[in-house]
Structure 1
Amino acid sequence: MTENTVDAFSLPVLERRSPSLTLRRLADLPVVVVEHPEARAALTLQGAQLIAWQPAGERPVLWLSGASAFREGKAVRGGVPICWPWFGPVSSPSHGFARISAWTLDAHEETAGAVHLTLTLRSDARTRELWPHDFTLTARFTLGRKCEITLTAEGDHTSTGALHSYFRVGAADQVSVSGLGDHYIDKVRDGAEGVQRGDLTFPGHVDRIYTRPQDAALVRDPTLGRTIEVRHHDASDAVAWNPGAKLSTEMADVPDDGYTEFVCVETARITRPLTTTENTPTAFGVALSLEHP
């Protein structure tokens, strides 16, 4: 695929599970597609990765790279990848194995306002080679005019993670983000600490971990005339990222001009890891909604 983005809703229907839920395939990857009166959405069973969401009557909210391979075991660029049980290149694979593992669709429910999905990933011999812990990881989605994602970890372990949201924008260098808090770790400057003054903008490569975010960040996009509210639940950090022009041309799964079409504002547990015991699961999540001036 050479287009910058992918239309999951044009994929052929392989199986209908309910009035709003169908199973389809994007190259090698099984895809669950939601077409509900209040919203459309799609997610891959690999990674339990939301790759599309748009409330009825709205433009798509998430960006998905058409340059992704869409192959088993390969990370998909865009949507909302689940980074777990570690964030970043601290081990291999980068950002953990959850986003390249096959999840199980355990439950789905339709109401007048939304579709609710529950997907599960459990430890096995393959995951124990990468990370020597038993676990159950559950991702719950509410997909309507608001999009909510909650990630729950169970077991006896400590982990980090993020819901790595890619937001589709009209022009990244015109976007501003408020609500990130005042302190950040700047990964572009080798982990130097910084103080945020005013809103964040994206004039070039941005890669920051904000360690004291407010409960909600506002992604203001004057080009598309909308604001995306990113409301964090039980998170310790918010991550802001855009590769900028130079890095975008070096990334095989991002079109050369792809960096102009998205910004990432992620809900994360990095500086305060998820610590679980056999009797105490730990969760964090995000709720996304749109506002118009």
Structure 2
Amino acid sequence: MIATIFTLPEQEILTPSLTRRQMGELDILVVNHPAVRAAVALQGAHLLAWKPQEQEEVLWLSDKTAFARGKAIRGGVPLCWPWFGPAAQEGLPAHGFVRNLPWKLDAYQETDEGVELTLTLKSSDDTLRQWPHAFTLYARFSLAKTCNIALEAHGDFETTCALHSYFNVGNINDVKVSGLGKRYVDKVAGGEGELADGVQTFPDRTDRIYLAPEARSLIHDARLHRVIEVAHRHHSNVVGWNPGPALSASMGDMPDDGYQTFVCVETAAINTPQRARPQAPSCLSVTLRVVE
């Protein structure tokens, strides 16, 4: 799926390395720079792909995801906001509504190092019916040999949120994640647990909210012979997730064996909501780097 994005016809040339293209019903910003290759969907301000040149793909994107208006994209880095997980009110989407809405490209710049993008989303009558708060969101991307994503929220409210990052791995059985801290809430088995050796593996369905994570997590991928560094900022939690074989097979937008080739390590604020106030926006951000 990621390879297909870079073969799409160019609809608009914004800079020598930045073009607008269309995948299904969605507008896609495509970066093909000497230092980096990346793609961002305007729906959801959704990072679909990022990889420094000469590297394997860093992010995972489902071959079965629909590029349809109003339908969530499976993979990449969805922005979960203004709530994480199930909605409190029946009929509202899980993980909030901003990942299903069209954002506006507000600013862009190409440099020798890569491309920088700023996308914006403002509250509307529709969002106010779902969540009664006025807001302005900025999603800022710095796409170079490192990748920085920042979600900045202006208004007066509390939110839970996450940068729900899907990482491409050789095989989930050969993946270990460190830097998560010990204590976690187990969303599969229920209750709390403790990671005795400080390393998370994924033998089956795994869904854990870590309660005191370190400032960076490391994804050790023995099959692809690399380490991905995930540096979290303004977070209270990190989520480690993989659906395992049974759930993967039940999901219409994921191949039955999709669980084998990704792991989610998510920068999040869940048990401690973020507070935005006038003149003091909230922010959640992450920096990704492939460790040589």
Q: Same fold, TM exceeding 0.5?
A: yes
Alignment of 1:89 with 2:92, yes or no, is no
Alignment of 1:219-234 (within 5 A): 219-234=219-234
What is the rounded CA distance, in whole Å, between the counterparts of 1:266 and 1:242 in structure 2? 11
SS in 1 for 2:170: coil
Shift of 1:40: 0.4
**1:185–1:6 CA distance, 2 compared to 1 (3 A):** farther
* Other-structure match for 2:167: 167
What count of residue pairs does the alignment treat as equivalent? 288
SS in 1 for 2:6: helix
Alignment of 1:178-217 (within 5 A): 178-190=178-190, 192-198=191-197, 199-217=199-217
What is the rounded CA distance, in whole Å, between the counterparts of 2:265 and 2:4 in structure 1? 22
What is the rounded CA distance, in whole Å, between the counterparts of 1:173 and 1:132 in structure 2? 43
Residue-by-residue CA offset, 1:13-62 (whole Å, 9 max, x unaligned): 11101111100011011000011111000010000000000001111100
Q: Residue type matched to 1:183 in 2?
A: R
Question: Contact 1:162–1:268 (CA<8 Å) still a contact in 2?
Answer: yes
Alignment of 1:122 with 2:122, yes or no, is yes
Shift of 1:6: 5.3
Relative to the length of structure 2, the TM-score reads: 0.97
Question: Contact 1:6–1:64 (CA<8 Å) still a contact in 2?
Answer: no
* Other-structure match for 2:8: 11
Residue-by-residue CA offset, 1:217-273 (whole Å, 9 max, x unaligned): 000001001000000011110000000000001000010000001000000011111
* Other-structure match for 1:65: 62
SS in 2 for 1:188: coil
* Other-structure match for 1:275: 275
What is the rounded CA distance, in whole Å, between the counterparts of 2:127 and 2:51 in structure 1? 33
* Other-structure match for 1:32: 29
Alignment of 1:112 with 2:112, yes or no, is yes
What is the rounded CA distance, in whole Å, between the counterparts of 1:270 and 1:278 in structure 2? 22
Relative to the length of structure 1, the TM-score reads: 0.97
Shift of 1:290: 0.4
What is the rounded CA distance, in whole Å, between the counterparts of 1:26 and 1:55 in structure 2? 22
SS in 2 for 1:10: coil
Q: Residue type matched to 1:152 in 2?
A: E
Question: Contact 1:69–1:76 (CA<8 Å) still a contact in 2?
Answer: yes
Shift of 1:195: 0.5
Q: For structure 1, which runs of at least 5 residues remain unmatched after alignment? A: none
Alignment of 1:42 with 2:39, yes or no, is yes
Q: Runs (4+) of structure 1 moved beyond 6 Å? A: none
Determine what percentage of the aligned residue pairs are the same residue.
51
What is the rounded CA distance, in whole Å, between the counterparts of 1:181 and 1:7 in structure 2? 38
What is the rounded CA distance, in whole Å, between the counterparts of 1:279 and 1:146 in structure 2? 29
Shift of 1:189: 1.4
What is the rounded CA distance, in whole Å, between the counterparts of 2:161 and 2:155 in structure 1? 15
SS in 2 for 1:151: strand
What is the rounded CA distance, in whole Å, between the counterparts of 1:216 and 1:278 in structure 2? 30
What is the rounded CA distance, in whole Å, between the counterparts of 1:130 and 1:153 in structure 2? 17
What is the rounded CA distance, in whole Å, between the counterparts of 1:7 and 1:166 in structure 2? 18
Q: Residue type matched to 2:24 in 1?
A: A
Shift of 1:187: 0.2
What is the rounded CA distance, in whole Å, between the counterparts of 1:234 and 1:279 in structure 2? 17
SS in 2 for 1:245: helix
Q: For structure 2, which runs of at least 5 residues remain unmatched after alignment? A: none
Alignment of 1:129-168 (within 5 A): 129-168=129-168
Question: Contact 1:8–1:52 (CA<8 Å) still a contact in 2?
Answer: no
What is the rounded CA distance, in whole Å, between the counterparts of 1:229 and 1:176 in structure 2? 12
* Other-structure match for 1:20: 17
Question: Contact 1:219–1:229 (CA<8 Å) still a contact in 2?
Answer: yes
Alignment of 1:228-247 (within 5 A): 228-247=228-247
